[in-house]
A and B are shown apart, each in its own frame.
Chain A
Amino acid sequence: DSGVTQTPKHLITATGQRVTLRCSPRSGDLSVYWYQQSLDQGLQFLIQYYNGEERAKGNILERFSAQQFPDLHSELNLSSLELGDSALYFCASSVEGPATQYFGPGTRLLVL
């Protein structure tokens, strides 16, 4: 158990819909990262927040957005969902600086 929690574990929705994925980092970690992993693919970095502010952005689609709240939990919002958005979405947390990231169990999103 990494100490990072993600909800929900599974999510099934339809094209065009909007969903929100939630992540709580490890106690004391100020950085939260979001990744997308499609079937048999590597991890694609989406976005990083540090203490409530956006710190780095990857190849995140404009239909996707995220935020980190004062209690440091983070939410990833996915809108106008397409079939290709079906994937595992991981949240990770770390103390900014070291290379070690601790990953949550992931949310498996299926868009039908």
Chain B
Amino acid sequence: GQSLEQPSEVTAVEGAIVQINCTYQTSGFYGLSWYQQHDGGAPTFLSYNGLDGLEETGRFSSFLSRSDSYGYLLLQELQMKDSASYFCAVRGRSGVCKYIFGTGTRLKVLA
């Protein structure tokens, strides 16, 4: 089947750097996206990797390696407001479920 696995929870302190991993099993996809969701809120788009390598957007960076079926989101200079759930997602090329979201990682930022 098609699935994206993420750690369920990550904890870090303000100012630190944290990496949220996403490993996937899917037959083919266009690229890997990352979304942030605060409790009770809607997911908001953070980053997209259409090609292998690193994409940087301010404090957030995302990486994709198709050969390793692996990607990650890197958050630098953590702030309290970064406490949220983070989801990786793919748009598959085929199969029943064209849009697949990961299990989600809850990030807790401590003062």
Q: Residues on A close to B: CB < 8 A?
A: 2, 33, 35, 42-45, 48, 56-59, 90, 92, 98-106
B83 within 8 A of A: no
A-B interface pairs (CB < 8 A), number: 56
Q: How far is the CB of A71 from chain B (nearest CB, A)?
A: 22
**Which chain A residues lie closer than 8 Å to B42 at the CB level?**
2, 90, 103-106
Contact assessment for A58 and B97 in the assembled complex, using a CB-CB cutoff below 8 Å: yes
Contact assessment for B96 and A48 in the assembled complex, using a CB-CB cutoff below 8 Å: no
Contact assessment for A45 and B44 in the assembled complex, using a CB-CB cutoff below 8 Å: no
Q: Contacts A2-B44, A101-B33, A105-B41 given; 11 further ones with Cβ under 8 A?
A: A43-B101, A45-B97, A48-B98, A56-B99, A57-B96, A58-B97, A59-B96, A90-B43, A99-B48, A99-B50, A100-B45
B24 within 8 A of A: no
> Which of B48, B98, B102 meets A100, CB within 8 Å?
B48
Q: Which of A33, A44, A90, A98 is packed against the most chain B CB atoms within 10 Å?
A: A98
User: What are 6 A-B contacts with C-beta separation under 8 Å?
Assistant: A44-B101, A45-B101, A58-B98, A90-B43, A99-B89, A102-B45
**Which chain A residues lie closer than 8 Å to B45 at the CB level?**
100-102
Contact assessment for A45 and B99 in the assembled complex, using a CB-CB cutoff below 8 Å: yes
**Which chain B residues lie closer than 8 Å to A102 at the CB level?**
45
**Which chain B residues lie closer than 8 Å to A101 at the CB level?**
33, 45, 99
> Complex formed: what's the CA distance from A5 to B102 in Å?
24
**Which chain B residues lie closer than 8 Å to A2 at the CB level?**
42, 44
Contact assessment for B98 and A56 in the assembled complex, using a CB-CB cutoff below 8 Å: yes
**Which chain A residues lie closer than 8 Å to B72 at the CB level?**
none
**Which chain B residues lie closer than 8 Å to A35 at the CB level?**
101
Contact assessment for A59 and B97 in the assembled complex, using a CB-CB cutoff below 8 Å: yes
Contact assessment for A45 and B98 in the assembled complex, using a CB-CB cutoff below 8 Å: yes
Contact assessment for B97 and A42 in the assembled complex, using a CB-CB cutoff below 8 Å: no
